[in-house]
Amino acid sequence: MGNALPRRHRGAAAKPKEEPHSTGSKPDGTNAVAVHQCEETLPPSSRDDCSPLGRCCCLPKDRLQLLLLKRQLRRLHRALTTPFTPDAWNTVEHGWLLRSIWRNLRPGESYSRKGAAWKLCGFQGNDPATDVRGGGLLSVQCLAHFCEANAPAMRAMLDELEGAAAASPDGMRFYPLSTTAIVMVTKLCDALGVSERMRGPISARELEVLLDSPYRASISKMLIPSARRDGFFGLFSLLLVDFHVRFIANRTTYMMSQKLLNETFADLEKQAQRCRSFKELWNVYCLNPAIAQKLQQTPGPEAPSASQPSSADGRRIRLAGHLL
């Protein structure tokens, strides 16, 4: 026929017209971004499932936030209940987390799985895996991420502790930074309800009861991801830096560190209850110059440094389920 299109154009001509959005209005761009940021942290097999989260761009904001919160709590519980086994053949990604911590805290030194150098990294013993205890994989993920995102600040904090201990007559103005960070992870999980202090993580059935409960901890609203520093990692970062700043400023000793941690955590809960978003909470904490200095020592993406991971290391950490 004379008016027939060439073969290569027939597919384009036959392309059906796109259907309008089911709500008759443009989807909320903010909601779409939030969904994408939450989905991109999931394994590929979980992103395209038939869960409501994959189709919630047109949901009301409160409904969307509830779905995001439930997914975040499930991810936290899954990482918390995953044992940290850096030496097992089928969990080599756990060992990559230790290598990431070592690379950022001992740059230029050959990696050693065990040894006295781990004490200089803030652990209590020669084997960092023994300090994890009930924190599971989640605690090491948080510590590795903080060391990666705030490597200069973490090294400065270790140096400050070493100087404080050397200046004190009995050497008690010191605390194991990395081990205390692991304790902070479990404390945050206790507050969120996914674990119960000495009992450890709650069961899968108890988790579903928690998710269906109308009660929400004051810090739970801070779990909704909207930027790289938000969510659980952001809360962990604020708690760790605030505790360290208070420890140094108040000339606290190791025997008083538990009391100081309880006070610091109580203040975090109070501030989270007053603030409407994590950004507001972050800005409140950064009013303290010492905290702001620690949290802003990270080089930006346009100014990479030797402490930043290579692309290969970054992929390995993401494979380990790193929480952003």
| Calpha distance 285→218 (Å, rounded) | 17
The first and second tokens of residue 294, run together, are: 């620690």
Mean pLDDT lowest for which of 16-30, 52-66, 176-190, 236-250? 16-30
Q: For residue 172, name the pLDDT band (cuts at 50, 70, 90).
A: confident
| Calpha distance 85→97 (Å, rounded) | 11
Give the length of the chain: 324
| Calpha distance 178→142 (Å, rounded) | 10
| Calpha distance 275→212 (Å, rounded) | 24
**Is the whole model's pTM more than 0.85, yes or no?**
no
Handedness of CA 95, 100, 106, 110 (dihedral sign): positive
Three-state DSSP class for 201? strand
The candidate with the shortest Cα–Cα distance to 163, out of 313, 171, 236, 231, is: 171
Helices (H), 112-256: 117-120, 136-149, 151-167, 177-192, 204-212, 231-249
Q: CA 114, 118, 119: angle at the middle one, nearest 5?
A: 130
What is the DSSP secondary-structure string of 100-121? HHHHHHSTTSPP-SSSTHHHHT
Q: CA 244, 324, 293: angle at the middle one, nearest 5?
A: 35
pLDDT at 227: 53
Q: For residue 52, name the pLDDT band (cuts at 50, 70, 90).
A: very low
Over residues 59-75, the pLDDT tens digits come to 677 788 888 889 999 99
pLDDT at 281: 93
Mean pLDDT lowest for which of 206-210, 229-233, 260-264, 311-315? 311-315
Three-state DSSP class for 83? coil
User: What value does the mean pLDDT take over residues 83-97?
Assistant: 93
pLDDT at 69: 87
Q: What b/e string do you get for 167-190 counting C-beta neighbours within 10 Å, with b at 16 or more?
A: eeeeeebbbbbbbbbbbbbbbbbb
CB 52 within 8 A of CB 63: no
User: What value does the mean pLDDT take over residues 48-57?
Assistant: 43
Number of helices and strands in the chain (H, E): 15, 0
Q: How far is C-alpha 304 from the chain's CA centre?
A: 21
| Calpha distance 244→163 (Å, rounded) | 14
